[in-house]
Amino acid sequence: MPETQGVPVVQDQSQSVALNEIVNSTTNGSPVPVIDYEGSGYRRDFWEGQGREYEDATERLALRRLLPSSGRRIAEIGAGFGRLADLYLGYEQIVLFDYSRTLLQDAVQQWGQDPRFVFVAGNIYQLPLASGVLDTLVMVRVMHHLADVPQALAQLRRVVRPGHVAVLEYANKRNLKALLRWMLGRQSWSPLSSEPVEFVALNFDFHPDWMAEQTARAGFRCQERLAVSHFRLPSLKRRVPAEKLATLDGLLFRPGGHFPLSPSVFVRAVVQGEEAADSPKVTELGVAELFRCPTCGTEPLSQVEPELVSCPQCGRRYQRHRQIWDFKEPVP
Ligand SMILES: C[S@@+](CC[C@H](N)C(=O)[O-])C[C@H]1O[C@@H](n2cnc3c(N)ncnc32)[C@H](O)[C@@H]1O
């Protein structure tokens, strides 16, 4: 299978081609289409035993370099099955957010016994987290699927406290492989033009300059940029142990970050704005105060029952089912 950001793949124009069913989330009140990993075997089909130990190792190395190792509350947006969740164990509370309930169920199986974890299902475009509730935000291998990056970035910025950090990963259209293919006439789109390329439905690669402009517009200040995953070559990956290859990649992270030619780019960005007082301790905040109504935007919500929160404005109720707070649909 070719190297990808996503799930099952049939061809390799640049990085990935996901075969998941695509839903149009107009049904959820947003006109932006969303890729649907519901029912997908992402963990087994893409990661486990699929020869991606190097990608996993080098992404972990990048995150260790960029993430504050501890704090009150961290959220991973588009966390999938919680592949990277062990990196967040220095935090008092860990929110794993994803559109796919199936993948979140996988995460519950692994992390559900740990009371620090909160599992939340919803759509990034109507992010059901309250404003400024996070000390740190992470998003890896998700931008790649976003049809409306500015709208998503506005939501991400809203939920992080000013002065605090978001680590954002995106797929780089100006990667070495795309450049070579284009120069040889084997690829129609130019890796040098700034607009995003959707090479297959809901699979986008982005130009680093375009992404820098979008993050700045959304109110993020870029502190550091790393070029990651230079060695996604099956022949190399077969010969060199994953950890060693990741260590070599790590030597290129910073120099490469000045002019990324790698397929993946990690950015550490600080949310601009006046720094508020220290966030309330995790024990001082009820679970309903973590949330915002995805339909009308009211926050915080009110706790009705241990497994039920409601919106004081529109009255919609959202429940926790099998450990997952479900904001994809209100309770009928
Ligand atoms: C390629 S997977 C990456 C999962 C995880 N970040 C990792 O690196 O292992 C992309 C994830 O983004 C989620 N996703 C895509 N669009 C989303 C949206 N609009 N709102 C919330 N999650 C979304 C998918 O459900 C999926 O779990």
Give the pLDDT confidence of 190-233 residue by residue, as tens digits. 999 999 999 999 999 999 999 999 999 999 999 999 999 999 99
Residue 48 confidence (pLDDT) above 60? yes
Question: What pLDDT score does 1 carry?
Answer: 31
**What number does the ligand 1 atom closest to the CA of 59 have?**
8
Q: Is the CB of 142 under 6 A from ligand 1?
A: yes
* Nearest in space to 139 (alpha carbons), one of 110, 185, 171: 171
* Domain 22-283 CATH (choose: 3.40.50.620, 3.40.50.150, 3.40.640.10, 3.90.1150.170): 3.40.50.150
Q: Is the CB of 108 under 6 A from ligand 1?
A: no
Q: Is the CB of 218 under 6 A from ligand 1?
A: no
Pocket test for ligand 1, best of 108, 145, 153, 167 (most atoms within 8 A of CB): 145
Pocket test for ligand 1, best of 53, 60, 99 (most atoms within 8 A of CB): 99
Give CA–CA dist 130/279, Å, rounded: 12
**What number does the ligand 1 atom closest to the CA of 76 have?**
6
Which stretches of 112-258 are DSSP H helices? 149-159, 176-183, 208-218, 234-239, 242-257
Using the mean position of ligand 1's atoms as its centre, give its distance from the Cα of residue 183 in Å: 32
Mean of all residue pLDDT scores within the chain: 91
For residue 277, name the pLDDT band (cuts at 50, 70, 90). low
- DSSP 8-state class, residue 129: B
Domain spans, the chain: 22-283, 286-327
Question: What pLDDT score does 28 carry?
Answer: 47
Question: What pLDDT score does 27 carry?
Answer: 39
Question: What pLDDT score does 284 carry?
Answer: 75
Task: Find residue 165's DSSP bridge partners.
Answer: 136, 270
Give the pLDDT confidence of 289-307 residue by residue, as tens digits. 999 999 999 999 999 999 9
What is the three-class DSSP state of 220?
A: strand
Mean pLDDT along residues 121-139 = 97
Question: What pLDDT score does 282 carry?
Answer: 76
Which residue lies with its CA nearest to atom 9 of ligand 1? 83
Q: Is the CB of 145 under 6 A from ligand 1?
A: yes
Q: Is the CB of 40 under 6 A from ligand 1?
A: no
Using the mean position of ligand 1's atoms as its centre, give its distance from the Cα of residue 153 in Å: 15
